[in-house]
Amino acid sequence: MGTLMLLRHGETTFNAARVFTGLLDAPLAPTGEAQVEVAADLLRAEGLVPDLVWQSTMLRASRTTELLLGHLAMDPEVRSTWRLVERAYGCLTNVSKHDARERFGEEAFFTWRRTLNGRPPAASPEQVAGWHDPAPVADRGPLDAGIGESLSDVMLRVEPWWTDELEPALAAGQTVFLVAHGNTLRALAALVAGMTDEQVERLNIPAGHPLVVPWSDGRLGTARYLDSDAAHVAAAMVAAEGGT
């Protein structure tokens, strides 16, 4: 039986300001670094030791991995892939959630953010010219930060990695830690668990809370947060902001 541990990176400076980051990158905020330390304590208490760590190529994910393994005093193999980078938000990129609601309306905000097939329109050249990446540019593969993705688009890019890399590792009985982003984790959950549109719309994954899922007989079992009470409070706060 394999084990999968999912961890959304710690809170970033953009998260704290409630600004859509997308394929821009941002450093962890002090609150995010503290979240990673708590996550490490929970994983240590659970006795989970990774055989392999997969991470997004973005700074906020790689820094979360670095801090997490440092706190755990572990040195497993770490692999990175652009397929796990955050969703491209198009015209929502670098816009606060409040301003996005005001500018585009509640219906568009919900459709673009929460549904499987809602895709934010592309950013204008003027928008793109005003962006500043506060961190080194990560490997984004063929993705363009200004071209919006739907969650279904993210599922399509995550699927080959799941089939070729993650599923075989779990089938071999490995414990795999996955450090990524709210929307790539949502996409993976929708892909593997066959979630309905409504379930996907309600799914919010809070930053810094370890979510453990067993793998047995070719399928994922029931997921559980290691600190369920705190995770559900944090997820409710994410939902109140408009979702992951």
- What positions carry a catalytic annotation? 9, 86
Residue 154 CA to chain centroid, in angstroms? 11
What CA–CA distance (Å, rounded) separates 93 from 24? 8
Single out the residue of 58, 10, 65 nearest to residue 35, CA to CA.
10
Q: How many CA atoms lie within 13 A of 134 on its CB side?
A: 11
> Pick from 96, 61, 28, 26: which is nearest to 241 by CA?
96
E strand intervals along the chain: 2-8, 52-56, 77-81, 175-180, 211-216, 219-220, 224-225
Q: Which residues sit opposite 81 in a β-bridge?
A: 56
